[in-house]
Amino acid sequence: MALFASKGVVISVPVLVLSVSAAATLLFFLLFASSSSPPSCSCPTLANRNAERVSTSAEDIDWVKSQIVANGLHMQQNILRKGINPRTRQQQLEDLIHYKGISHYEGEQEANNHTALPCPGELLVEEHHSNYGEPWAGGRDVFEFLAESAKLKPDSKVLEIGCGTLRVGLHFIRFLNPEHFHCLERDELSLMAALRYELPSQGLLHKRPLIVRGEDMDFSKFGPDGTMYSLIYASAVFLHMPDKLVWTGLERLASRLKPLEGRIFVSHNIKFCSRLGGDECTKRLNGLGLEYRGKHIHDSLLFNHYEIWFEFRRFKEA
């Protein structure tokens, strides 16, 4: 057996050959791995599914039910519990008015130095959440139905006629890109609740929604006529308007709705249309480049309630 000796180190030829072979094999493997791109996978992931879906899935419901069972939870009587300072909304408001809360700065100037956006007590205790005659959570139901029906994406633009205190609008604002949610609202108290409480408390001021105080279906403050909406909707608003004013609004909005893919949704009923008679209503809609697409019933997720929506689309240039 041949040996190589140098400074006391002895290496046999077979061992040397095996070492060189192993090093060459390792080098080849590393070069091949670096030059080969990993195989692409189009398998749906949980993140992708959540990004695409707006409404709650059956799997979501099963998951939350399992969490309730796993924690052994049962609904208890909703009474004031022991805590720092348990209060009803009315008691909270009285405390804010008379005592300013548990810990507070004395003096108006000192208080203003520490409170960037002082909010009226009536808004802080969320009295406006009771203005709708149904649970505040219903706003999420409306958002899910409309967003999926209109196939909205974050870069879509949405106009709500009568957004009130943003019971529905908050969800659209969170979903859409900044400045892509627009609203026309006439009620001052609702606008104060939206701007001074809901947007700041939900961390949505950076979304810069365009919320305009106005009435008589005046959309002149919503930018040039080139602003195109993927969705225009009115929830229980047309019920309180004269038919003539509703038609005026549709005339002004038809050219702002994206042809074919854009949608107008109106809740509860469309008596402004049915009172004309079927043929006359169809004729008048067609004159605006609009067509009736059907009636939809959408169920609430959290309480025994459903809403009726009527769908329209723009089928040609106005």
Spatial distance between the Cα atoms of 146 and 138, rounded to a whole number of angstroms: 13
Domain final residue, candidates 74, 98, 118: 118
Q: Give pLDDT tens digits for 132-184.
A: 778 999 999 999 999 999 999 999 999 999 999 999 999 999 999 999 999 99
The predicted model gives 101-109 an average pLDDT of 70
The predicted model gives 89-99 an average pLDDT of 77
Q: Give pLDDT tens digits for 19-71.
A: 556 555 655 555 555 554 444 444 444 444 455 688 899 999 999 999 999 99
Question: What's the pLDDT at 7?
Answer: 44
In terms of domains, do 114 and 202 share one? no
Domain that holds residue 307: 129-314
pLDDT confidence band for 259 (50 / 70 / 90) = very high
In terms of domains, do 108 and 212 share one? no
In terms of domains, do 240 and 292 share one? yes
pTM of structure:
0.78
- Position 55 in a domain: no
In terms of domains, do 108 and 249 share one? no
- Position 195 in a domain: yes
In terms of domains, do 103 and 170 share one? no
Domain count, the chain: 2
User: For 151-306, where are the alpha helices, taking DSSP H only?
Assistant: 169-175, 188-193, 199-201, 243-253, 271-274, 278-287
In terms of domains, do 199 and 298 share one? yes
In terms of domains, do 104 and 189 share one? no
pLDDT of residue 18 exceeding 90, the answer is no
- Position 59 in a domain: no
In terms of domains, do 163 and 102 share one? no
- Position 168 in a domain: yes
- Position 136 in a domain: yes
- Residue that has been written with the tokens 């019933």 in this structure: 297
The predicted model gives 200-228 an average pLDDT of 90
Question: What's the pLDDT at 227?
Answer: 87
The predicted model gives 289-317 an average pLDDT of 93
What is the overall mean pLDDT for the chain? 83
User: For 134-209, where are the alpha helices, taking DSSP H only?
Assistant: 138-149, 169-175, 188-193, 199-201
Q: Find the CATH number of the domain harbouring 135.
A: 3.40.50.150
In terms of domains, do 157 and 105 share one? no
Which residue type occupies 240?
H
Spatial distance between the Cα atoms of 185 and 257, rounded to a whole number of angstroms: 19
In terms of domains, do 178 and 102 share one? no
